[in-house]
A and B are shown apart, each in its own frame.
Chain A
Amino acid sequence: MLAILVFLPIAAFLAILFGAPARLTALAAAAVNLALGLYAVFTWQCACWSFSLPVLEKPAMNLAFGFTDGMSVIMVLLSVIVTLAAVLSGKAPEGREKLYFGSSLLISAGALGAFAATDLFFFYAFHELALVPTFLMIGMLGRGDRRDAAWKITIYLGLGSVILLAGLVWLANLAGTYDIPTMLNAAKSGALKIDPVAQKSIAALLIVGFGTLVSLFPFHSWAAPAYASAPAPVAMLHAGVLKKFGLYGLLRLAIPLVPEGLQAWLTPLLVLLLGNILWVGWVTISQKRLDRMLGNSSVMHMGYIFLAIAALIAFPENPLARSAAIVLMFAHGISIALLFSLADRIERSTGTLDLQELGGLAKAAPKLAFLFGIGAMASIGLPGLANFSGEILVFLAAFKSYNGSSGLGPVQITCILSIWGVVISAVYMLRAYRSIFQGPAVKATESARDISFFGRIPAVLLIVALFAVGLYPNLLLNLLNKF
């Protein structure tokens, strides 16, 4: 059944290409996928979800999908939720509907395929499939200096993927199989022992490769301009879903297969993630446009997820770190999608995203202000919203390995420093909120229209998810504890 989930958007893309009404088809496919995704949450352990089609005899390769564990379910769920929201909130420029909705569907299919694949080859391949429409959409339908942004993301992510591919090929050669569950079982049972020197090199390739895809400092500079100029659905899908591929890959492959190799790189990783949180956070504060600010903030928040991963590397038995990373991935995906979607609304009703040209929008558009407020609060990490559950778990996880007699370890020190990030995000988010919505109305916001009923649907969908996980994180944690 997972194959249906993955290929439905592709089929819809083809249908659109051959003349089906673009928006309607995309909506239908996304809605069916959301229903399937929700159904999967309850029934994912059923064998009926897995799918395997041999494509090559030697080396054995299968077009195989399956839920390896709860993490895949959560990522698939995140993808289908954000896809529906993205399709709902997208507004294609006149005459480009086919391209606009078709590409959004392809990105979604690529992300779903990558999260659901159980074959290393297709795991990598589907992610790349999603990147091509991303580049094209930014280059063709983006805003501002879209071509430079698109070119930059093409080169960064192309290079990152190539480095990643090197690591994956090496891994597959040592493991002697492309089947991910087989690999993981072999590692668990001790049948697959990779020697420490190779581990170290593979870990470096994977950290840099996956890291570039997730905008790990200092490989992050593609992200903010790309998100700033991307059309709303692309920004939502990429920042919300596709970017999580890198983190998913680290958790799925790097941590179980090359634990010793990762340990060798723990200190550099901690420094880099602090770069994400503090340096990029600092950069975020100084942004003058909402879209660039959101782009930078999404880079910054990756630092926390890396912190969870670092805690897991430092202390592999850590019971919290893995869950913390996954909950935060989900929460961040939903909240950044919400913010990008609403930023697009603000631009549509006022014609600008320049913070200095905006002000007092809450008078003309109170509903928009309310929704954006929730998104901003979620992003800061207000209790009750999903991000809080994620972040608090991350901080707890970082201290799980704290040893009273030896004092603070590197992970704990990093954690203490990164808590400052919460303050940083409060500063930029609240400042942005104030300068957009409060104060006297200015020219751009005087006659602005409030968000319509249909415009509110995607935002409400995302906010419901944020509250559900925020108030009852066991929704996700229960999935992770079942095997």
Chain B
Amino acid sequence: MPAYYLEALTVTLGIILLMAETFCSCKNKAWVGVAGAIGLTLILGLTFFAIGPDAKPTAVWATWPLWNFYQFDGLAKFYKLFSLTATILVLLLAVDYRTILARFTEVPDSEAGTGEFYTLPIFACAGMMWLASAKDLAGAFVALELVTVTFYILVAYLRRNVGSLEAGVKYLILGALSTGFLVYGIAWVYGTIGTMQLAAIPAAIGHLQSTTPLLFGVALVIVGLAFKIGAVPMQVWIPDVYQGAPTPTTAFLSVGSKAAGFILTIRFLEPFLASEATRAPVVALLLIMACATLLYGNLAAIPQTNFKRLLAYSSIAHAGFLILALAAAKSETAFSQGSTKVVSFYLATYLIMTMGVFFILSQVRIQRDGEEISDFNGLGKTNPTLALALTTLLAALAGVPLTAGFIGKFFVFSLAVEAGLWWGVAIAFIAAAAGFYYYFGVIRAMWWKAPAQESAIILPCISKLCIGGLTLAVVLIGFWPQPIWALLK
């Protein structure tokens, strides 16, 4: 099956669900989310059977000009799987979040007008999947905009909630700004080397008399991408938007949108890191970004009292580790995995940990009616098993060994040490230590403080399964990371 079927199927699924939801008179909209999740699971299964033109050069479709701006390699497959998994989890999260959605509709407590909330992520997913296959800057830009425009709606979805609206406006303005940077940067790159094809760039760089205009363009593109991945200097939107957006959207932003940004960054930087003329300045730029992001994310997270906002800073912090791995710019050797694979692995573990935390957060939000850290007080007394799960997930985010999070960090540190980025290593260690402090602050609240209300939180069926599964995965991958590496082959 040609790989582009996957995107086509995803978009089709989205349109069918959108139509069905529009013409269905049913009051309850949860089925849209469930149907979407099931549909995407089927597509997830099909991904393993997708092939590129190299696998079957004789087929008619293999000669189509489409393959000039669409590729299907191991990395593309991995990020398609990643986007699909993230979207499935987000849809399931949205299903359990529907009581909050219903609170802000025209007629409170009815689900009228909440159906699109389940279909929009599917379109964003199609955009992310396309990004994973991008081999040309124009195509990548269009795919990225498909993702971003969908997110504009998703962030401001609770339009009767001031926080959500404010988040929407901030996201829109800064998003537009970053798009401007991105397009302007692409224009400079195209202007200096005359091609949009990423694969053609290394050859073109050789003919340049001066790389300065090209590097200017690259820097602009990186700034534009920094918005997507949540890195300094485009990180200011993250705390406010994360806090204001509906929780499923926040989860999607912090996992899906970030991963989409990273795959594009990886693809975009690859030719520039490969050619000698541009490598050193690009690495320097990335290193500065990594250090600034690590410091900003981790230090600003320390005084936070709102858990969702804390997760926003933590998302910036993790972006810092990821960029540090990119800055190491190592290709694969006999002893170690290269930067690309380490980043992908880290993102996969980040998906598992973060989604688990968001599932728990959304239930606390619904049943304790708050997202402050103090709303988690005494969870260890009222819901010991849930508290144990959250402890595991947070410990993983902090990077406690024998959890998935540690392995990701471990590889990042190894890469940075190998590449001799001593400044980055030193700052990353400070950052990791600060991470321990603020994640353990939440664990402390759960176990050491008295609960405000004695009633236990009752988990809906889907949340229970997802939290259990994700927590188990965090521990299992902490011992046995091979399955994710196998997917990356």
Chain A contacts to B: CB under 8 angstroms: 17, 54-59, 63, 121, 124-129, 132, 135-136, 139-140, 147, 150-151, 154-155, 158-159, 162-163, 165-166, 169-170, 172-173, 176-177
Judged by a CB distance under 8 angstroms, whether B326 is at the interface is no
How many Å from the CB of B454 to the closest CB on chain A? 14
Q: Given the complex, which residues of B lie within 8 Å of A126, measured CB to CB?
A: 401-402
Q: Could you name 22 residue pairs across A and B whose Cβ atoms are closer than 8 Å? A: A54-B482, A55-B479, A55-B480, A55-B481, A56-B482, A58-B337, A63-B479, A121-B410, A125-B402, A125-B478, A126-B401, A128-B402, A135-B440, A147-B448, A155-B436, A158-B436, A162-B429, A162-B432, A166-B413, A166-B417, A169-B413, A172-B414
- Number of residues of chain B lying within 8 A (CB) of chain A: 35
Residue of A nearest to B380 (CB): A140
Least Cβ–Cβ distance between B380 and chain A, in angstroms: 8
Chain B residues 404 to 442 lying within 8 A of chain A, measured CB to CB, are 406, 410, 413-414, 417-418, 425, 429, 432-433, 436-437, 440
| CA A250 to CA B448, docked complex, whole Å | 35
- Which A residue sits closest to B486, measured CB to CB? A57
Alpha-carbon separation in the docked complex, A132 to B398 (Å): 12
CB <8 Å contact, B436 and A129:
no
Q: Within the complex, which residue of A58, A128, A177 is in contact with B485, where a contact is CB–CB below 8 Å? A: A58
Q: How far is the CA of A128 from the CA of B418 in the complex (A)?
A: 24
A177 to B444, CA, bound (A): 37
Q: Given the known inter-chain contacts A56-B481, A173-B417, please indicate yes or no for A128 contacting B436, CB distance below 8 A.
A: no
A151 interface neighbour in B391, B401, B444, B485, Cβ under 8 Å? B444
Q: What residue in chain A is nearest B480 (Cβ atoms)?
A: A55
Tell me whether B336 and A58 are in contact (CB under 8 A).
yes
Q: Is A128 touching B414 in the complex (CB atoms < 8 A)?
A: no
Residue B395 at the A interface, CB < 8 A? Answer: yes
* Residue numbers in B under 8 Å from A170 (CB-CB): 417
B380 proximity list for chain A (CB < 8 A) = 140
B112 within 8 A of A: no
Once A59-B336, A125-B402 are accepted as A-B contacts, the answer to whether A140 and B447 lie under 8 Å apart by CB is yes
Give chain A nearest CB distance to B423 CB in angstroms.
13
Give the interface centre of A63, A128, A135 by most chain B CB atoms within 10 Å.
A128
Distance A162 CA – B479 CA, assembled complex (angstroms): 19
**Chain B: minimal CB distance from A37 (Å):** 22
Contact B335 A176 (CB under 8 A): yes
- Bound CA span A165–B380, Å: 30
Q: Which residues of chain A are near B440, meaning CB under 8 Å?
A: 135, 154, 158
When chains A and B are docked, how far (Å) is the Cα of A328 from the Cα of B324? 43
- Asked if A55 and B401 sit within 8 Å, CB to CB, the answer is no
If A140-B447, A158-B440, A173-B417 are given as contacts, then 16 extra A-B residue pairs at C-beta distance below 8 Å, sorted by A number, are: A56-B481, A57-B482, A58-B334, A128-B401, A139-B447, A140-B380, A154-B436, A158-B433, A158-B436, A162-B433, A162-B436, A163-B429, A165-B410, A166-B429, A170-B417, A176-B335
Binary CB contact string for chain B from 320 to 342 against chain A (1 if under 8 A, 0 otherwise): 00000000000010111100000
Distance from A242 Cβ to chain B, minimum over Cβ atoms (Å): 14
Main secondary structure of the interface of A (DSSP, over half): helix
Task: Scan B458-483; emit 1 where CB is below 8 A from any A CB, else 0.
Answer: 00000000000000000000111110
Tell me the complex Cα distance, A136–B388, Å: 11
| 7 shortest interchain CB distances as A-B pairs | A125-B401, A128-B401, A158-B436, A125-B402, A55-B480, A139-B448, A162-B433
B50 at the A/B interface (Cβ < 8 Å)?
no
Residues of chain A contacted by B448 (CB below 8 angstroms): 139-140, 147, 150
Give A121 to B480 CA distance when docked, in angstroms. 12
CA distance A163 to B413 in the complex (A): 12
Mask for B195-226, Cβ within 8 A of A = 1, else 0?
Answer: 00000000000000000000000000000000
Interchain CB contact (< 8 A) of A59 among B335, B388, B444, B480: B335
Instruction: Knowing A125-B402, A125-B406, A154-B436, say if A165 contacts B447 (CB, 8 Å).
Output: no
Given A155-B437, A162-B433, A173-B414: A129 and B402 within 8 A (CB)?
yes
How close is A106's CB to chain B, nearest CB, in angstroms? 11
A150 to B441, CA, bound (A): 12
Q: Which residues of A contact B433 (CB under 8 A)?
A: 158-159, 162
Report B-chain residues with C-beta under 8 Å of the C-beta of A155: 436-437
Residues of chain B within 8 A of A159, CB atoms compared: 433
Interface residues of B in 365-424 (CB under 8 A from A): 380, 388, 391, 395, 400-402, 406, 410, 413-414, 417-418
The complex places the Cα of A57 from the Cα of B417 at a distance, in Å, of 20
Cα of A127 to Cα of B401 in the assembled complex, Å: 9
Residues of chain A lying within 8 A (CB to CB) of residue B388: 17
Residues of A near B425 (CB, < 8 A) are 166
Within the complex, the shortest CB–CB distance from B368 to chain A, in Å, comes to 21
Instruction: For the complex, give the distance between the alpha carbons of A404 and B277 in Å.
Output: 63
Listed residue (A150, A173, A176) with the most chain B CB atoms within 10 angstroms of its CB: A173
* B478, closest chain A residue (CB): A125
Residues from chain A with Cβ under 8 Å of B332 in the complex? 58
Nearest chain A CB to B202 CB, angstrom units? 26
Closest Cβ–Cβ distance, residue B191 to chain A (whole Å):
41
On chain B, the residues within 8 Å of A54 by CB distance are: 482
A56 with B485: CB separation less than 8 A:
yes
Q: How far is the CA of A170 from the CA of B426 in the complex (A)?
A: 12
| Contact pick for B410, options A58, A150, A169, CB 8 Å | A169
Q: Nearest chain B CB to A22's CB is how many angstroms away?
A: 13
Chain B nearest CB from A406 CB (Å) reads 39
Q: Which of A132, A165, A177 meets B395, CB within 8 Å? A: A132
* Chain B hits for A58, CB < 8 A: 332, 334-337, 485
CA distance A155 to B478 in the complex (A): 23
CA distance A176 to B417 in the complex (A): 12
> Closest Cβ of chain A: how far from B20's Cβ, in Å?
43
Contact pattern, B 269-290, Cβ under 8 Å of A = 1, otherwise 0: 0000000000000000000000
Write out the residue numbers on chain A whose beta carbons fall within 8 Å of the beta carbon of B401.
124-129
Bound CA span A177–B334, Å: 11
> Which residues of the other chain, B, contact A165 by a CB distance below 8 angstroms?
410, 413, 429
**Min CB–CB distance A415 → chain B (angstroms):** 35
Interface centre among B337, B388, B447, by most A CB within 10 Å? B447
What is the bound-complex CA distance between A127 and B337, given in angstroms?
25
In the complex, A236 Cα to B406 Cα: how many Å?
28
A173 engages B418 (CB within 8 Å): yes
Nearest-neighbor residue (CB-CB) of A146 within chain B: B448
Q: Which residues of chain B are within 8 angstroms of A136 by Cβ–Cβ distance?
A: 443, 447
Alpha-carbon distance A274/B393, docked complex (angstroms)? 42
B482 contact set on A, CB distance < 8 A? 54-57
Minimum distance in angstroms from A426 CB to a CB of chain B: 39
Q: B81 CB to closest chain A CB, in angstroms?
A: 20
Complex Cα–Cα for A176 and B334 (A): 9
Shortest Cβ distance from residue B264 to the other chain A in the assembled complex, whole angstroms: 26
In the complex the two chains form, what is the Cα distance from A159 to B435 in whole Å? 11
Distance between A407 CB and nearest chain B CB, rounded to angstroms: 41
Cβ distance B215 to chain A, nearest Cβ, rounded Å: 30
Residues of B within 8 A of A147 (CB): 444, 448
Which residues in A have their C-beta under 8 angstroms from that of B334? 58
Partner of A132, one of B337, B400, B481: B400
B395, B418, B485: the one within 8 Å of A57 (CB): B485
- The A-contacting residues of B in range 293-351, CB under 8 angstroms, are 332, 334-337
Minimum CB distance partner of A201 in chain B:
B422
Bound together, the chains give a CA A188 to CA B440 distance in angstroms of 42
Docked pose: A57 CA to B486 CA in angstroms: 9
A129: chain B residues at CB < 8 Å are 400-402
Which residues of chain A are within 8 angstroms of B481 by Cβ–Cβ distance?
A: 55-56
**Which of A124, A126, A135, A136 has the largest number of chain B CB atoms within 10 A?**
A136
The smallest C-beta distance from B152 to any residue of chain A, in angstroms, reads 39
Say how far A174's CB is from chain B's closest CB, in angstroms.
Answer: 9
A127 nearest CB neighbor, chain B only: B401
Distance in Å: Cβ of A474 to nearest Cβ of chain B: 37
